[in-house]
C-alpha cells in the first residue's frame, strides 16, 4: 500500500491531475493557492473512494482519499472566489488497480457489559484485510458490513467470520467470543427486627431488611450454621432495599436455633438470567447471627436512662419485673458498677438469684463532672440491660441582669448602683469590670477579675464626672453577660432664683441709700453680676460698679445717692 502526496491549485476553468492507485493506497491532497481572491472554505467529494474531510476552512486546505472501490475514481475539489464569487475547481482522478484481496488478520468485539438482559448486542469489526472491502458474518454465508452488530447469549460462545471482498474474495477467518454474565452487587447492608437475642419461647417472624443493594438483583438469607439449609424467603429488592421474613417453626427449630444456641446467617445475592446474570447466588459482605436465650434466661428488660441529673447525686432506675423463665427455674443475678434492689429490699452489689415475678431496681451515684455518663448493668440469667445517668451540662452563662441608671447627680461624687443577683448558672462564671469597681456579696470594692456562683449579689461603683451633663459608665460582665451602670451629672444652671430689693420712700435729698441684703440661690455654677445706677457689695465687701460673678449662697446689697430734688425717684438695678 502506497501513499501519494499531491499539491493542487483551484482554477477557472478547472484543471485535472491524474494519479493512478491501488485499492489500498492513500492520497493526501493539499490545495495551495486559489483563484478569485482566495477561499474561505474549500470543498472535496469523491467518487468510488472516501474523502475526508468534506470541507476545510483553514488554509492550507488538506484532504485524504482512501478506500478505492472500483477500477476508476475521481475527486472533485472546489471553492467560491472571495472577490468575484465565481467557482474555481480542480479534479484528481485515475485508475484503480485492485490487486488480490488479503484476508483479515483479526476481529474485535464491542458490547455494553452492563446491559440487563440475557442477550447482548455485540459489534464485530474485522481488521488487517487489504485490496478490498472487509465484511463479517455469523454463519460464513451471509455477509454484512464490517462493524455490524450480532446478538450473543450470555455465557454461550459464538463464532464470527470475516473476509475481504474485491476482484475476488479472500479466505475467511473465524473468532470465537463469549459475553460474560453480570455480577451481582455484593456490597449491601443488613438489619433485623427483633434486633437482639430472642426469648427461649420466641415463636414470631423476624424481618430482615437488606439495603444499599441493586434493584435488578435478588437477595436471600442463608443459614450457615448446621448446614447451608437456605431457610428463609428470597427477597426481590424494590429500588435499593427490601425485606426477607424468617418465620419461627412451632418446635423452635429450622430458621432459628434451639434455646441456648446461636445460628449464623449470610446475605446472598444473584442476578436472574433474564437480567444478564447466571442465576447463581454469591455471598455478600453482610451477615448476622441470632441467639435464642436458654430456658433459664428471662425475657429482655429495659431500664429508662436519665439525663440532666445533678452531679454526685444518687440515681435510682425504674423497676423491671422478671418474666419468661421456665417453670420453676431460678437464674443468677449480678450487677456491675452499681447496686441493685430485689423486691424492694436493700441495695447490694453481691450476686443473687431471680425467679419469674421478682422485681429489680439498680442504683448508682452520678458523675461529679458535668455532662458525664455513669452506667450500671444488671445481668439476669445472661440477659442484660444498662441504666445510664448523664449529668447536666456545665452552664456558666447567667440570666440577664440590669442596673438602674441615674441622672442629675452631683459632679465628682461616688455613685453606687442597685444590687443585682446572679441566677441561671451551675458553675463558676468569670467576672470582670470596666470603668469602675464592683462589690460581691457586700464585700470590698475591687476592679480585679473574679468569679461568681449562683445567687451571688453584686453592686458597682464609680465617681461621677467633674463636668456638667456628662455620663460615666461602668460595665460588669459575668459569664459573658453584661450590663452597664450609667450616672449622668446635672446640667449647668447659671440662672438664679428671683430676688427682691425693698424700695424706700420719703428719704432725705442727696443722701446715701443702701438696700436690704439678698442671697443668691438656684444656681450650680458661676453667674455674671453687673449693676446700673449705683454700686453693689458682695458678701459684705466694698461697694463697686464693676462687673463680677456670683455663686450659690453669695449675698448682695446695692447703694446709691438719693435725688437732690424733692419727690424724685432714683433706681439701681442689680
CATH of the domain at 85: 2.60.40.1860
Give the Cα separation of 128 and 164 in Å (integer). Answer: 9
Three state DSSP letters for 42-103: EEEEEECCEEECCEECCCCEEEEEECCCCCEEEEEEEEECCCCCCEEEEEEEEEEECCCCEC
Residues 443 and 502 in one domain: no
Residues 361 and 319 in one domain: yes
Three state DSSP letters for 306-371: EEEECCCCEEECCCEECCCCCCCCCEEEEEECCEEEECCCCCECCCEEECCCCEEEEEEECCCCCC
Strands 429-434 and 471-478: antiparallel
Pair 472, 425: CB distance under 8 Å: no
CATH number of the domain that residue 324 is part of: 2.60.40
Residues 271 and 194 in one domain: yes
Range of the domain at 553: 493-574
Give the Cα separation of 81 and 77 in Å (integer). Answer: 13
Residues 193 and 287 in one domain: yes
Instruction: Share the mean pLDDT of the chain.
Output: 90
In the beta sheet, which residues pair with residue 383?
380
Q: Please check whether residue 504 lies inside any domain of the structure.
A: yes
Residues 223 and 254 in one domain: yes
Looking at residue 59, its pLDDT comes to 74
Tell me which of 97, 132, 160 is where a domain ends: 97
Pair 255, 232: CB distance under 8 Å: yes
Q: Which three cell numbers stand for residue 96?
A: 484503480
Looking at residue 251, its pLDDT comes to 41
Band (238; pLDDT cuts 50, 70, 90): low
Give the number of domains in the chain.
6
Residues 216 and 265 in one domain: yes
Q: Please check whether residue 549 lies inside any domain of the structure.
A: yes
Q: Which three cell numbers stand for residue 138?
A: 455469523
Kindly report, residue by residue over 137-166, the tens digit of the pLDDT.
999 999 999 999 999 999 999 999 999 987
What mean pLDDT is predicted for residues 244-251?
60
What mean pLDDT is predicted for residues 526-542?
97
**pLDDT reading at 232 higher than 50:** no
Kindly report, residue by residue over 343-357, the tens digit of the pLDDT.
999 999 999 999 999
Nearest to 284 by CA among 264, 267, 270, 271: 267
Amino acid at each position: 500500500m502506497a501513499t501519494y502526496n499531491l499539491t493542487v491549485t483551484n482554477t477557472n476553468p478547472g484543471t485535472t491531475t491524474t494519479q493512478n492507485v491501488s485499492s489500498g493506497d492513500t492520497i493526501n491532497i493539499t490545495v495551495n493557492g486559489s483563484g478569485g481572491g482566495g477561499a474561505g472554505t474549500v470543498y472535496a467529494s469523491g467518487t468510488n473512494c472516501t474523502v475526508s474531510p468534506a470541507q476545510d476552512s483553514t488554509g492550507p486546505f488538506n484532504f485524504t482519499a482512501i478506500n478505492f472501490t472500483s477500477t476508476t475514481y475521481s475527486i472533485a475539489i472546489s471553492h467560491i472566489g472571495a472577490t468575484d464569487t465565481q467557482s474555481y475547481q480542480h479534479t484528481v482522478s485515475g485508475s484503480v488497480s485492485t490487486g488480490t484481496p488479503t484476508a483479515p488478520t483479526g476481529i474485535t468485539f464491542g458490547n455494553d457489559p452492563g446491559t440487563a438482559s440475557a442477550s447482548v448486542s455485540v459489534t464485530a469489526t474485522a481488521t488487517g484485510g487489504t485490496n478490498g472491502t472487509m465484511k463479517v458474518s455469523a454463519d460464513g454465508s451471509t455477509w454484512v458490513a464490517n462493524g455490524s452488530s450480532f446478538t450473543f447469549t450470555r455465557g454461550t460462545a459464538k463464532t464470527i467470520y470475516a473476509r475481504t471482498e474485491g476482484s475476488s474474495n479472500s479466505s475467511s477467518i473465524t473468532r470465537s467470543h463469549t459475553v460474560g454474565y453480570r455480577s451481582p452487587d455484593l456490597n449491601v447492608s443488613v438489619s433485623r427486627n427483633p434486633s437482639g437475642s430472642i426469648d427461649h419461647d420466641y415463636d414470631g417472624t423476624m424481618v430482615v431488611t437488606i439495603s444499599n443493594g441493586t434493584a435488578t438483583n435478588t437477595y436471600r438469607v442463608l443459614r450457615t450454621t448446621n448446614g447451608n439449609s437456605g431457610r428463609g424467603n428470597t427477597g426481590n429488592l424494590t429500588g435499593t432495599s427490601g425485606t426477607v421474613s424468617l418465620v419461627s417453626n412451632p418446635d423452635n427449630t429450622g430458621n432459628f436455633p434451639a434455646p441456648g444456641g446461636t445460628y449464623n446467617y449470610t446475605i446472598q445475592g444473584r442476578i436472574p438470567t433474564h437480567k444478564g446474570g447466571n442465576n447463581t447466588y454469591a455471598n455478600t459482605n453482610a451477615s448476622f447471627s441470632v441467639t435464642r436465650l436458654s430456658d433459664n434466661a428471662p425475657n429482655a428488660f429495659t431500664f429508662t436512662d436519665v439525663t440532666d441529673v445533678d452531679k454526685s447525686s444518687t440515681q435510682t432506675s425504674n423497676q423491671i419485673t422478671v418474666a419468661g423463665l421456665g417453670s420453676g427455674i431460678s437464674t443468677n443475678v449480678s450487677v456491675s458498677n452499681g447496686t441493685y434492689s430485689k423486691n424492694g429490699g436493700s441495695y447490694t452489689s453481691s450476686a443473687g438469684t431471680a425467679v419469674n415475678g421478682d422485681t429489680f431496681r439498680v442504683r448508682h451515684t452520678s458523675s461529679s463532672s458535668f455532662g458525664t455518663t455513669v452506667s450500671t448493668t444488671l445481668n439476669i440469667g445472661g440477659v442484660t440491660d444498662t441504666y445510664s445517668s448523664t449529668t447536666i451540662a456545665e452552664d456558666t452563662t447567667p440570666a440577664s441582669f440590669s442596673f438602674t441608671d441615674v441622672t442629675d447627680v452631683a459632679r465628682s461624687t461616688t455613685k453606687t448602683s442597685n444590687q443585682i443577683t446572679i441566677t441561671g448558672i451551675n458553675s463558676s462564671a468569670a467576672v470582670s469590670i470596666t470603668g469602675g469597681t464592683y462589690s460581691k456579696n457586700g464585700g470590698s470594692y475591687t476592679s480585679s477579675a473574679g468569679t461568681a456562683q449562683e445567687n451571688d449579689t453584686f453592686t458597682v461603683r464609680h465617681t461621677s464626672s467633674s463636668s456638667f451633663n456628662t455620663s460615666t459608665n461602668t460595665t460588669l460582665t459575668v459569664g459573658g453577660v453584661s450590663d452597664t451602670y450609667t450616672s449622668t451629672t446635672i446640667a449647668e444652671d447659671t440662672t438664679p432664683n428671683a430676688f427682691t430689693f425693698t424700695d424706700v420712700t420719703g428719704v432725705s435729698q442727696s443722701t446715701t441709700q443702701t438696700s436690704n441684703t439678698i442671697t443668691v440661690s438656684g444656681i450650680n455654677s458661676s453667674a455674671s453680676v453687673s449693676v446700673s445706677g449705683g454700686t453693689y457689695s458682695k458678701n459684705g465687701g466694698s461697694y463697686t460698679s464693676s462687673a463680677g460673678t456670683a455663686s450659690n449662697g453669695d449675698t448682695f446689697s446695692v447703694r446709691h445717692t438719693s435725688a437732690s430734688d424733692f419727690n424724685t425717684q432714683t433706681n439701681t438695678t442689680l
